[in-house]
């Protein structure tokens, strides 16, 4: 039976600043590096062996995956990177701290944008944060803002197209992504409501393990550190 492990990247620079990053590319902090290394050490200690890996095209997810695999001595594994696994695009909130965004837009609007499943923040308007010239997004229909539903839809399209077929081929898969993209996969596999996944949370650097049957129905889901 295949095993799927989902890993949210370690702390990134704008996480430390309590700043909305979304699709903007920021690197791991030293703490984020330590979290990625610790995740790899925990997976290695528990004897996990993988056959295929996936990541978003964002540096914080890619570095988390590479660091974890190096610790496991499995950095030879094939890795597919795809923008469908990117973090939610926060639109006009991108680059603002949560305090700055709340002061600018008000707490009620902020709670609506962040907690509603189908209401997006205002579109990105800052030309300094425009990704149109970023080569990794050549040919990609760039969003200018996403609600949680938008993020979930693209993640599940990719799940159906690429991740699920690898698991159906009886391969163990490791996915390194982001709070909202990992959350979308957890919600999809466990049939959780948006409010249930919000309550669950997706901690940085915490491997979430799914033991699946041949139909990819979860037999068991657990956070690896809580099993130790």
- pLDDT per position as a tens digit, 94-149: 999 999 999 999 999 999 999 889 999 999 999 999 999 999 999 999 999 999 99
Enter the tokens of residue 142: 């760039």
Of residues 165 and 225, more confidence is placed in 165
pLDDT of residue 227: 61
The per-residue pLDDT for range 81-94, each reduced to its tens digit, is 999 999 999 999 99
Enter the tokens of residue 197: 């996944």
**CATH number of the domain enclosing 130:** 3.40.50.1240
43 vs 52, 110, 178, 209, CA distance in Å?
Answer: 15, 37, 18, 10
The total number of structural domains in the chain stands at 1
Given 87, 146, 166, 206, which residue is catalytic? Answer: 87
The per-residue pLDDT for range 126-138, each reduced to its tens digit, is 999 999 999 999 9
Binding region for substrate = 60, 87-90, 98, 179-180
87 is an active site residue? yes
188 is an active site residue? no
Mean of the pLDDT values across residues 172-186? 97
Given 9, 84, 146, 166, which residue is catalytic? Answer: 9
Give the Cα separation of 223 and 141 in Å (integer): 34
Enter the tokens of residue 56: 């978003």
CB atoms within 10 A of CB 203: 13
Element (H, E) at 219: strand 218-223
pLDDT at 211 over 60: yes
Q: Strands across the sheet with 173-177, in order?
A: 79-81, 52-55, 173-177, 3-8, 208-212, 218-223
Give the Cα separation of 26 and 21 in Å (integer): 7
Give the Cα separation of 122 and 113 in Å (integer): 9
Q: Which residues contact 195 (CB under 8 A, 6 or more apart)?
A: none
pLDDT at 173 over 50: yes
Give the Cα separation of 115 and 15 in Å (integer): 18
Query: Domain range holding 73?
Result: 3-227
């Amino acid at each position: 039976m295949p095993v799927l492990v989902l890993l949210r990247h370690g702390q990134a620079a704008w996480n430390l600043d309590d700043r909305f990053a979304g699709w903007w590319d920021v690197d791991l902090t030293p703490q984020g590096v330590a979290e990625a290394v610790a995740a790899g050490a925990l997976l290695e200690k528990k004897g996990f062996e993988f056959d295929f890996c996936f990541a978003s095209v964002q540096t914080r997810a890619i570095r988390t995956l590479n660091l974890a695999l190096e610790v496991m001595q499995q950095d030879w594994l094939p890795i597919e990177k795809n923008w469908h696994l990117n973090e939610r695009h926060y639109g006009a909130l991108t680059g603002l701290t949560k305090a700055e965004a709340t002061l600018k837009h008000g707490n009620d609007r902020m709670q609506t944008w962040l907690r509603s499943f189908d209401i997006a923040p205002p579109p990105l308007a800052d030309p300094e944060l425009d990704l149109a010239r970023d080569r990794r997004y050549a040919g990609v229909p760039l969003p200018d803002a996403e609600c949680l539903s938008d993020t979930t839809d693209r993640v599940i399209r990719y799940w159906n197209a690429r991740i699920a077929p690898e698991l159906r081929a009886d391969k163990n898969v490791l996915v390194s992504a982001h709070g909202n993209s990992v959350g979308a996969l957890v919600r999809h596999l466990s049939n959780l409501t948006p409010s249930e996944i919000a309550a669950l949370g997706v901690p940085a650097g915490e491997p979430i393990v799914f033991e699946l049957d041949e139909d990819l129905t979860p037999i068991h889901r657990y956070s690896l550190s809580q099993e130790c």
